[in-house]
Chain A
Amino acid sequence: GAVVSQHPSWVICKSGTSVKIECRSLDFQATTMFWYRQFPKKSLMLMATSNEGSKATYEQGVEKDKFLINHASLTLSTLTVTSAHPEDSSFYICSARDRGQGNIGYTFGSGTRLTVV
């Protein structure tokens, strides 16, 4: 089945530094990938839709300059948290759809636990 690889699985960084999270579709091409964020005991909140070869579409309230998304190829999307602050600490998850699997093909990465100290 479709596999989405997300890396790193966890990262601890200092305030003010930037962190890059990668999301790869391993056995299918994804023109669209989605980035979600989950706070403790909260739902998965969509942050942005990453489109291959074009600018990402951000949800209301998500800072474009803080959460940089690059979808340079059909198998890779990256999320960079710039100038990270403790309030950015969260669980970030990417998702992509393998069109060959119909609508059930929303596959998720394993997530990245970001802790900003």
Chain B
Amino acid sequence: DQQVKQNSPSLSVQEGRISILNCDYTNSMFDYFLWYKKYPAEGPTFLISISSIKDKNEDGRFTVFLNKSAKHLSLHIVPSQPGDSAVYFCAASQGYSGNTPLVFGKGTRLSVIA
């Protein structure tokens, strides 16, 4: 049973436009959510996170929105740049102890077209 779902395997966006990546989760015990960016043959790199006590977190061009009632979060990238082309993973964790692993979605491949 997949607890974190990214239903769009790929997304293409024109440079300068907004990219919106979506993520749904089923485990109501998750209380921290993270987005990672991954290039081929490399480990994921942290992008932005949000705790369940917030509904929005912004960092430069990246904004993450959390809708707890819908168990849905989204990552907005604006304006999109060609260098943003990568696979984006949504991840969730339960607790802040650091002893609990992250649960990942399957990823969404973002292609930003110049």
Taking CB as reference atom, which chain A residue is nearest B42?
A: A110
**B97-114 residues at the A interface, CB under 8 angstroms:** 98-99, 101-107
The smallest C-beta distance from B17 to any residue of chain A, in angstroms, reads: 25
CB-contact partner of B106 in A42, A106, A109, under 8 A? A42
B32 at interface by CB-CB < 8 Å: yes
| Contacts between chains A and B (CB distance < 8 A), count | 65
CB-contact partner of B98 in A10, A45, A103, under 8 A? A103
Taking CB as reference atom, which chain A residue is nearest B41?
A: A113
CB <8 Å contact, B43 and A110: yes
Taking CB as reference atom, which chain B residue is nearest A9?
A: B41
What interface size band does chain B fall in? 20 to 34
Can you name 21 A-B pairs with beta carbons within 8 Å?
Answer: A6-B43, A31-B99, A41-B9, A43-B106, A44-B89, A45-B104, A46-B101, A46-B102, A46-B103, A49-B101, A93-B43, A95-B43, A103-B34, A103-B49, A103-B51, A104-B34, A106-B34, A106-B93, A106-B102, A108-B36, A109-B43
